[in-house]
Amino acid sequence: MCLAPSTVRTHLAAIYRKLGVSSKLELRDRLTPVATTLADLPIEHPNRPEKPSIAVLAFENMSGDQEQEYFSDGISDDIITALSRSPWLFIIARNTTFTYKGTSVDVRRVAEELGVRFVLEGSVRRSGERVRVTAQLIDGITGGHVWSERYDGQLEDVFDLQDEITRNVVASIQTTVHLSTIQEPVERASRRDLTVWELTMRSWHLLYDFTPESYAHAKTLLERALAIDPESAEANMILSLINHHIAIMGFVPDVQPAMETAYALARRATQLDDRNEYAHWALGICCWGLLKYDESLAALERAVALNPNCSLAYGSLGTLLGILDRSEEAIANQEIAIRSNPLDPSIFFRFSGLALAHYMAGRFEAAIEWAERAIHRMPRWYFAHLVLVASYVALDRQEDAVNAVKYCQDVLPDTSIKDLDRVPLRDTSKLNELRARLIKAGFSRQPVVH
């Protein structure tokens, strides 16, 4: 559509009169104090969501080769997609975060503009067929580093390498974010206005303390959460985990009720949210003491299928495969869990799972090595002590076995053969052999009554 110049001038004159100006120059001067550019306009930044929130910036290609942009962008895309699968996290979409690509950014400004707590940034450097990927998680409030890691690999199969790096980054981030989101000490979590999310996150922190007192506190918080929202899959799931750990760590004289409660809560959590990998993970591990091996295997495989980056599911699947005497598969899954999440506070479970797998395969020296590493991380983990002692007996190192029993009883005076019922082997002949070795080393059949 074309407008005659005279028409434009007529309308401009009317506008000038309305604004009390006589020319374009006077109009410019009138508008200048209000805003000269878009940057001068007030900007309302979004509020941070209740969930832990992350923006993944495009990884920088440091190779100087534009052909490698596909690889650095692919890593960023995969991480965003993988993190988005987690119901625990709020992730900014790729189309938004990639608008910062190629610019030098202030991470705190990015976090404020996008309304997130954390920002993940990284770089990719290639030399020949070798590639190095670095990643770092930044606290958007303080600007401080929360976590960082470097990964080296060969470009023989670029997609396998992308998958491995993605799994490692995502698994580590999930654990780190969970443990750094709630800064307030859990002992101060008595405010009456805490939301279901805050109550569950505080309980998740307490899960990693591995003490009876922390678990009692967590149960109180989760009961508050379920009173507010009985349909919360997360609250049901974490309460299941608390009951499971109370049983498996032996924090109650009779573990059976806690095991049954854990199972019922985990089933409830999967019914409320069938796509929550943590709910299926919880269901998988609480089946062990109830001898529901097939259900455990199905649940843990479902958790891995839902989130191939869930290190906890890989590790627990590895432990179950050890219980089922499938040692090589057990070791492969444990190695994925350890490599992808080396900062996991519960990594002693992974170590004892490797010890069990090697024990079941008759590699007792390796079983001793991993059991000792598990005990070093968590001296109160009874199962690692039992595998260690049985491995010494299998090698006819009776003196070492007796000394290991004494150390176990110093830390856990009530340990007995009965404790094997918490994580029983499926093969009854191997279970009986394990019992016999422990008795030979000096463990009693039943807890000693004090």
Whether 164 and 229 share a structural domain: no
Domain ends where: 181, 211, 232?
181
Q: Is residue 268 part of a domain?
A: yes
Q: How many domains does the chain have?
A: 3
Tell me which of 160-174, 202-216, 256-270 is least confident.
160-174
Whether 125 and 168 share a structural domain: yes
Whether 366 and 382 share a structural domain: yes
Domain ends where: 181, 196, 228?
181
Evaluate if residue 83 carries a pLDDT over 90. Answer: no
Whether 143 and 209 share a structural domain: no
Q: Is residue 386 part of a domain?
A: yes
How do beta strands 60-61 and 118-127 pair? parallel
149 within 8 A of 167, measured Cβ to Cβ: no
Whether 160 and 193 share a structural domain: no
Task: Give 4's pLDDT tier (boundaries 50, 70, 90).
Answer: low
382 within 8 A of 351, measured Cβ to Cβ: no
Helix/strand/coil for 184: coil
Quote the domain boundaries for residue 294.
Answer: 185-308
Domain ends where: 181, 196, 219?
181
Q: Is residue 17 part of a domain?
A: no
Instruction: State the CATH number of the domain containing residue 210.
Output: 1.25.40.10
Q: Is residue 26 part of a domain?
A: no
Whether 99 and 219 share a structural domain: no
Q: Is residue 320 part of a domain?
A: no
Whether 408 and 303 share a structural domain: no
Residue 60 zone, left/alpha/beta (φ > 0; ψ -120 to 50; rest):
beta
Task: Give 12's pLDDT tier (boundaries 50, 70, 90).
Answer: low
DSSP secondary-structure letter at 125? E
Sign of CA dihedral 351, 168, 137, 196: negative
Tens digits of per-residue pLDDT, 372-425? 999 999 999 999 999 999 999 999 999 999 999 999 999 999 999 999 989 899
227 within 8 A of 253, measured Cβ to Cβ: no
Q: Is residue 44 part of a domain?
A: no
Tens digits of per-residue pLDDT, 124-161? 888 777 888 888 989 888 888 888 888 888 877 777 77
pTM of the model: 0.74
Would you call 76 exposed, middle or buried from its count of C-beta atoms within 10 A (0-12, 13-18, 19+)? buried
**d(Cα 380, Cα 387) in Å, to the nearest integer?**
14
Whether 164 and 127 share a structural domain: yes
Whether 98 and 80 share a structural domain: yes
Cα-based distances in Å from 344 to 163, 172, 178, 234, 351 = 20, 8, 11, 20, 12
Whether 93 and 212 share a structural domain: no
Whether 81 and 148 share a structural domain: yes
Q: Is residue 38 part of a domain?
A: no
Q: Is residue 334 part of a domain?
A: no
